[in-house]
């Protein structure tokens, strides 16, 4: 459904500036600012209750902000002409009439938006649902409902795609399909913003991440840079029959030493060669000496520790 590779442009940029949402005594989103660039998949991450869904709903004009602005291609969603041609969004998988078939659901949307009805067939094919086109929505699995939601979002061939937990209900093959699908959209120059709690999948999918907690920005940037910024969190994993002796020797070098449930030492503050030299000098036998590099999940947990959600 794409008209080919799109030229690089600022069109499609999402800019959130000072966005705030107050519900009586609860501030769900607090002076939040971030930018999402075209041609990239951006993961929108945060603990449960961090304000992710509220932020997405404000971006789509479904919730009125208490303060701040959220724009797409320089305009508020409410001010976009033919918004379906600019922005596709999936916030809920099961938002279709249960008695309608998949193809009829999409054709109704096309008619309301002034889109040619063949877009419905094209969108179903795009997400692999053509064989289920005439099956009623109530007979769709959760994964099929997610795909139908994405098909609906793609009807207008939008420049921007916003998805809230799109992998819910998908099996491993479906998740792999989703990853490839969204990456391809970004490669076409589109803007893809994805909220998800599947951090290992987001590390594979996203080019950039925006991490929030308690309604505030915690970290934003390319995935590799965000993980790399926590390189000091790398730990050395050590198995030895003389764990107590090695722990004592390492603590003398200002290392921080913890022990897991299997008796393996987890050492921070010194690198693996230092641990090896310390063990050799003390005549301590090592069975394992490896460096555990931080991943997105570890970085996320460290950045959001103690910052519980507020709704």
Query: Does residue 59 fall inside a structural domain?
Result: yes
117 and 200 in a single domain? The answer is: yes
For the stretch 249-285, pLDDT in tens is 999 888 999 998 899 999 988 899 999 999 999 999 9
**Alpha-carbon torsion angle 273, 275, 277, 279, nearest 10:** -150
27 and 173 in a single domain? The answer is: yes
94 and 152 in a single domain? The answer is: yes
Q: Is 141 helix (H, G, I), strand (E, B) or coil?
A: coil
Whole-angstrom Cα distance, residue 167 to residue 42?
A: 15
Q: Count CA atoms within 13 Å of residue 44 on its CB side.
A: 29
Query: Does residue 44 fall inside a structural domain?
Result: yes
210 and 243 in a single domain? The answer is: no
88 and 123 in a single domain? The answer is: yes
Whole-angstrom Cα distance, residue 195 to residue 107?
A: 27
Residue 111 token pair: 């008619």
Query: Does residue 304 fall inside a structural domain?
Result: no
Neighbours of 278 (CB within 10 A): 19
Cα–Cα nearest to 260, from 296, 297, 300, 292: 292
60 and 207 in a single domain? The answer is: yes
Single residue among 163, 197, 221 that ends a domain in this structure? 221
149 and 104 in a single domain? The answer is: yes
Cα–Cα nearest to 19, from 89, 79, 77: 77
38 and 164 in a single domain? The answer is: yes
Please report, for the domain that includes residue 38, its CATH number. Answer: 3.40.50.300
Residue 186 token pair: 């970004």
Instruction: Report how many domains make up the chain.
Output: 2
Largest CA distance in the chain: 78
Q: Write down the pLDDT at residue 292.
A: 83
214 and 286 in a single domain? The answer is: no
Q: Write down the pLDDT at residue 1.
A: 46
What angle in degrees, to the nearest 10, is found between the helix axes of 172-187 and 142-153?
10
Residue 259 token pair: 């022990």
- Say if CB 130 and CB 102 are below 8 A apart: no
Single residue among 167, 187, 221 that ends a domain in this structure? 221
Query: Does residue 57 fall inside a structural domain?
Result: yes
Among all chains, which residue has been given the structure tokens 């050799």? Answer: 280
Q: Is 308 helix (H, G, I), strand (E, B) or coil?
A: coil
- Say if CB 209 and CB 202 are below 8 A apart: yes
Query: Does residue 228 fall inside a structural domain?
Result: no
Query: Does residue 176 fall inside a structural domain?
Result: yes
DSSP structure string for 167-195: TTT--HHHHHHHHHHHHHHHHTT-EEEEE
Single residue among 221, 246, 264 that ends a domain in this structure? 221
152 and 288 in a single domain? The answer is: no
162 and 239 in a single domain? The answer is: no
**Per-position pLDDT tens, the chain of length 311:** 444 343 334 589 999 999 999 999 999 999 999 999 999 999 999 999 999 999 999 999 999 999 999 999 999 999 998 899 999 999 976 678 889 999 999 999 999 999 999 999 999 999 999 999 999 999 999 889 999 999 999 999 999 999 999 988 788 999 999 999 999 999 999 999 999 999 999 999 999 999 999 999 999 999 999 988 876 567 899 999 999 999 999 998 889 999 988 999 999 888 999 999 999 999 999 999 998 878 899 889 889 987 765 44
Whole-angstrom Cα distance, residue 70 to residue 163?
A: 16
Q: Could you tell me the residue range of the domain that residue 251 belongs to?
A: 235-292
Please report, for the domain that includes residue 268, its CATH number. Answer: 3.30.70.100
158 and 251 in a single domain? The answer is: no
Q: Write down the pLDDT at residue 308.
A: 60
Please name the residues in contact with 39: beta carbons below 8 A apart, sequence gap of 6 or more.
8, 186, 187, 189, 190, 191
- Say if CB 204 and CB 211 are below 8 A apart: no
Strand partners, 6: none
Query: Does residue 227 fall inside a structural domain?
Result: no
Among all chains, which residue has been given the structure tokens 């991943």? Answer: 295
Query: Does residue 125 fall inside a structural domain?
Result: yes
- Say if CB 53 and CB 195 are below 8 A apart: yes
Among all chains, which residue has been given the structure tokens 């090896």? Answer: 276
């Amino acid at each position: 459904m794409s008209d080919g590779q799109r030229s690089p442009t600022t069109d499609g940029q999402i800019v959130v500036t000072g966005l705030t949402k107050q519900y009586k005594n609860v501030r769900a989103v607090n002076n939040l600012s971030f930018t999402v660039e075209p041609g990239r998949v951006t993961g929108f991450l945060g603990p449960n209750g961090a304000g992710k869904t509220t932020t997405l709903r404000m971006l789509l004009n479904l919730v009125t902000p208490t303060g701040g602005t959220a724009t797409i291609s320089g305009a508020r969603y409410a001010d976009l002409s033919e918004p379906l041609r600019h922005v596709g969004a999936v916030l809920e998988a099961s938002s279709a009439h249960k008695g309608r078939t998949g193809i009829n659901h999409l054709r109704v949307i096309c008619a309301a938006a002034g889109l040619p009805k063949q877009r419905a067939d094209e969108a179903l094919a795009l997400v692999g649902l053509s064989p289920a086109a005439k099956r009623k929505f109530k007979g769709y699995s959760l994964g099929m409902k997610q795909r139908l939601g994405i098909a609906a979002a793609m009807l207008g061939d939008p420049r921007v795609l916003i998805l809230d937990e799109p992998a819910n209900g998908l099996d491993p093959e479906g998740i792999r399909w989703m990853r490839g699908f969204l990456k391809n959209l970004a490669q076409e120059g589109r803007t893809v913003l994805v909220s998800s709690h599947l951090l290992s999948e987001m590390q594979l999918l996203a080019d950039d991440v925006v991490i929030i907690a308690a309604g505030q920005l915690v970290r934003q940037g390319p995935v590799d840079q965000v993980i790399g910024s926590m390189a000091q969190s790398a730990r050395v994993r050590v198995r030895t029959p003389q764990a107590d002796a090695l722990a004592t020797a390492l603590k003398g070098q200002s290392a921080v030493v913890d022990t897991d449930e299997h008796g393996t030492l987890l050492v921070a503050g010194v690198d693996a060669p230092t641990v090896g030299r310390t063990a050799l000098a003390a005549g301590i036998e090592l069975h394992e000496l490896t460096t555990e590099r931080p991943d997105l999940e570890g970085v996320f947990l460290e950045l959001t520790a103690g910052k519980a959600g507020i709704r």
